[in-house]
Structure formats: structure tokens, C-alpha cells
Chain A
Amino acid sequence: DAGITQSPRYKITETGRQVTLMCHQTWSHSYMFWYRQDLGHGLRLIYYSAAADITDKGEVPDGYVVSRSKTENFPLTLESATRSQTSVYFCASRGDTGYEQYFGPGTRLTVT
């Protein structure tokens, strides 16, 4: 579990501000994912990446941007935060073999 970390763990920001959530993994996993978790919705995929410089949209990508210049990092940016983006954000990674996903500790984001 210590192999995947997120920062910050808590963030409060104002509507309209840009905010970036960081995700770092030390396993050299090819696949990385961003989810948001809201009551009544479970976990919903925002973006995923199959390798450095390869990213694609998930179920709820609107308002988010990702990049992956290095295998170990997968930052998620909210370009202009809205209150509806208040949520808990989880990063996850998966190796090339097997299907198991491993989750980071999460970032609780509040948009005021």
C-alpha cells in the first residue's frame, strides 16, 4: 500500500480556482486511474492511463484534465473548480499482468 501515494490528503479551494491532485506510485505499474467517490454513486472513473503519454476518458471526465509524462506520476487537474467537484478522489494503479487495482489513500477535496 505504501507504493501509491496521493497529495494533498485534504484540500479546500474556491469555485473557479485551478487545483491539481498528485498521484505517485513506486511499482512501475503501467496502468493508472483516477476515481471520484460520492455517496450513492460508489467509485466512478474519471480518467485512466495505459502508459506514459497515453491517457483516455472514463465515465465522468468533464471538468478534469490529466497528464502522464512519467510512468510513476499521474496528476489530475481541475481547471476551474465547481462545487459539484467536491468529492473524495482516489488514484489507483494496476500492473501489466493480472487485474488487481491498488488504491492510494485518497484526497478529500472541498470546493466552496
Chain B
Amino acid sequence: GENVEQHPSTLSVQEGDSAVIKCTYSDSASNYFPWYKQELGKRPQLIIDIRSNVGEKKDQRIAVTLNKTAKHFSLHITETQPEDSAVYFCAASWGTYKYIFGTGTRLKVLA
């Protein structure tokens, strides 16, 4: 069945360093790839997304890259700050309701 694999499950970085989280999806029909940030006890919040007709998108310190051939996409956070500490989820979507989520990455930014 459809699947999204996300790695790593936990990631610790020093403040100011970069963090990279990777996801692989199985269904080649996927055409929308959002990333969510979830702080403890809070709802998932969309931080950036990319569509299948774009290879890269950037928003300040956050960027997402997509490789359709390899079926993987990545979240890049530069100049990490303590407030970036959270759980990050990727997802792959197609059609009107299909959203398959990865299992999450717990990012810890060490001061």
C-alpha cells in the first residue's frame, strides 16, 4: 500500500547548525508534499509545502527539495534556533483526500 518513510526519527543539532530530514514515498501519483511542525501538546502547523512540478522551494531558513525520480523529498533548516525544537512530519498527497504522513522526526536544537 501507500507509504511514506521518514528519517531520522530523532535529530540533535547544535544551535546555528543545519538540520536535514528526509522522506521517501511510494506512490508516483503523489503531487503535493507538505511539511508540518508540531510542538508538544499542539496541533500540526504547516511550515512549507511543494508541488510535484517544482524541484525546490525556500522560505527564509526553511527549504524543501523534491526528487520525483527517486521519490524522495527533504526538509532543510538552516541556522537552527532553540525554537525550532519540535516534531516534524512530512506527508505525500494525491487526489482530494489522500494524505499519507511520515512517522515524524523529533528535532532537538542544543543551545
Let me know if B101 is at the binding interface, CB within 8 A.
Answer: yes
Task: Pick the most buried of B49, B89, B101: most chain A CB atoms within 10 A of its CB.
Answer: B101
Task: Pick the most buried of A33, A43, A45: most chain B CB atoms within 10 A of its CB.
Answer: A43
User: Contacts of B43 on A, CB cut-off 8 Å?
Assistant: 1, 90, 103-106
Give Cα distance in the complex from A48 to B93, angstroms. 14
A31-B97 contact in complex given A42-B104, A99-B49, A100-B34, C-beta closer than 8 Å: yes
Are B46 and A101 closer than 8 Å at their CB atoms?
yes
User: Contacts of A1 on B, CB cut-off 8 Å?
Assistant: 43, 45
Measured as residues with beta carbon below 8 angstroms from the partner, the interface class of chain A is 20 to 34
Let me know if B96 is at the binding interface, CB within 8 A.
Answer: yes
Give Cα distance in the complex from A103 to B45, angstroms. 7
Interface residue count on the B side (C-beta < 8 Å): 20
Are B93 and A99 closer than 8 Å at their CB atoms?
yes
- As a 0/1 sequence over residues 91 to 111 of chain B, the CB contacts with chain A under 8 angstroms (1 = contact) are 101001101011110000000
Are B34 and A40 closer than 8 Å at their CB atoms?
no
* Main DSSP-derived SS at the A contact region: strand
Task: Pick the most buried of B44, B101, B104: most chain A CB atoms within 10 A of its CB.
Answer: B44
User: Contacts of B49 on A, CB cut-off 8 Å?
Assistant: 99-100
Are A42 and B93 closer than 8 Å at their CB atoms?
no
A48-B34 contact in complex given A42-B103, A101-B46, A105-B43, C-beta closer than 8 Å: no
Task: Pick the most buried of B34, B51, B96: most chain A CB atoms within 10 A of its CB.
Answer: B96
Are B89 and A43 closer than 8 Å at their CB atoms?
yes
Give Cα distance in the complex from A37 to B46, angstroms. 16
Sample of 5 further A-B pairs with CB below 8 A, known A42-B89, A43-B91, A90-B44: A31-B97, A33-B99, A99-B51, A100-B49, A102-B46
A-B contact pairs, 13 of them (CB 8 A): A1-B45, A33-B97, A42-B89, A42-B102, A42-B104, A44-B101, A99-B51, A100-B49, A101-B34, A103-B43, A104-B43, A105-B43, A106-B43
